[in-house]
Amino acid sequence: MKRILAVSVITGLSAALVAAWLIRKPNPEPVSVVAALKPAKPTLYCEFYNFVGRSPKVGFTFALSGAAAAPRVTQLNQIESDGTRTAFESEGIAAPLWTFEAGAPPTLVSPGEAIRILLYGYEGTESAKAQFGEVRSASAWFEAGLRSIQYLNLDGKCRRSGA
């Protein structure tokens, strides 16, 4: 009987200590509503597949700014099929500024013109709006093509996201 009473007292004291610790624990700072509602930067992600079209060979992420018909295109990162990833700016490497060439189809051209990405369904151009209409979702995948000596000619797809 004494043993049951001792276990009960110890259990009760432990529960009281845990409850007191939880009550005294400081509340976390509330998240700013303004920060939560801030729209994300517009980005363009493109991935290109091996010749069979089953697995990605290379992927690029770009930040877009300025007018949708002629945006400023900054490369954020590049991901290779072997798993290597180059994250510009965060690794101390200057982010490359690509050229946007409006046309049919619009084209992204790398610095040095070694890589060209053809954007067959890019929503930011008048030609794409005429082809796909205003109802096309900004986050929908659209066809793209990669032209380079290093990667050869690869088919792929791109998707815009953010505001």
Please give the average per-residue pLDDT across 133-162, as a whole number. 82
Residue 21 has a pLDDT of 53
pTM across the whole model = 0.67
Please give the average per-residue pLDDT across 68-93, as a whole number. 88
Count CB-CB contacts under 10 A for residue 157: 18
The answer on pLDDT for 133 being more than 50 is: no
Please give the average per-residue pLDDT across 156-162, as a whole number. 89
Residue 92 has a pLDDT of 80
